[in-house]
Chains A and B, each alone.
Chain A
Amino acid sequence: MFDLTGMTALVTGASGGLGSAIARGLAAQGARVALSGTRVAPLEALAAELPGSVVLACDLSDAAAVDALVGRAVEALGSLDILVNNAGVTRDNLAMRMKDEEWDTVIRVNLEAAFRLARAALRPMMKARHGRIISVTSVVGVTGNPGQVNYAASKAGLIGMSKALAQEVASRNVTVNCVAPGFITSPMTDVLPEAQKEALTTRIPAGRLGEGADIAAAVVYLASREAAYVTGQTLHVNGGMAMI
């Protein structure tokens, strides 16, 4: 089950905690992975661990670079079966204090880049009559979170985008889904004060923060042949903190 041998994947934000866990998960099932991100050193360290993987540095706030990324991945890997839109940034602020650039940056990197990559990836996927587009959204895209109007909007946007896209391309065996992590141990949550982390944990029935591997497993499932009949869905992986 869930064998990805012979498949190729592009993972954005692969230098981060979640992205590297996803790349490891896909590679463990046999996929060759293009690792994209802005920090080349951690990407190269990861690539050294994953046979057949390649590093493709890319700044997702640069539209032209984003438009070129899928082509570079196809060139490096020979094909593209799986796109994982994982990269995300936060610029938290209460709405009344939020600057235009805080809003713009988050929407551009989290939502617009995901659309540009999906649009480009559809070409090889439609031709191949097979493809998997998986976007990492967030529980806050569904529940909201104070201080994150921009982030929550971008993550909710990914869910709507994926549903529309899923309907457009389902007849070509291309599925489009989201994975929605709850609170996961990562550099993004490491910066939270200890007291806040404890308060968070009390809201999680599982009694712990999630691990990257918990999310990677969900991505591997949606990427697999076995998930061919699952499209337009959001798989919530949050220890029960929100049941949607």
Chain B
Amino acid sequence: MSDIADRVKKIVVEHLGVEADKVTTESSFIDDLGADSLDTVELVMAFEEEFGVEIPDDAAEKILTVKDAIGFIEANAAA
């Protein structure tokens, strides 16, 4: 598993207060992990902070699962 995936999952676990083993790459923030719309905004902001990327609103709307987040960050993060 990549370093980015680990860091993304760590943020999700910490932020949503869910068990680490519940968070898989396929997990949907809202449907599987009980996030509300405000949680998803906060997650996006946490990803921006952690990875030093800017996630525009139209891209943020498409980040619905852990995999989506990892994909965006892998494609856009500098390091």
Contacts and interface: CB of A to CB of B under 8 A. Distances in A.
A164 to B, nearest CB: 14
Contacts, number: 9
A198 interface: no
What is the interface residue range for chain A against chain B?
under 10
Nearest to B15: A127
B38 A169 contact: yes
B38 A171 contact: yes
Contacts of B32: none
Interface string B6-44: 000000000000000000000000000000101000100
Q: Majority SS of interface residues in chain B? A: helix
Q: Majority SS of interface residues in chain A? A: helix
A126 B45 CA distance: 11
Interface in A118-142: 123, 126-127
A169 to B, nearest CB: 7
A171 B36 contact: yes
A152 B5 CA distance: 51
A172 B38 contact: yes
A62 interface: no
A168 interface: yes
Contacts of A169: 38
Contacts of B45: 123
A171 B38 CA distance: 9
A232 to B, nearest CB: 16
B64 to A, nearest CB: 20
A120 to B, nearest CB: 12
B10 to A, nearest CB: 16
Nearest to B41: A126
Interface string A169-197: 10110000000000000000000000000
Contacts of B38: 126, 168-169, 171-172
Contacts of A126: 38, 42
A30 B19 CA distance: 38
B50 to A, nearest CB: 13
Contacts of A127: 42
A118 to B, nearest CB: 15
Interface of B: 36, 38, 42, 45
Given A123-B45, A126-B38, A127-B42, 6 more contacts: A126-B42, A168-B38, A169-B38, A171-B36, A171-B38, A172-B38
9 contacts: A123-B45, A126-B38, A126-B42, A127-B42, A168-B38, A169-B38, A171-B36, A171-B38, A172-B38
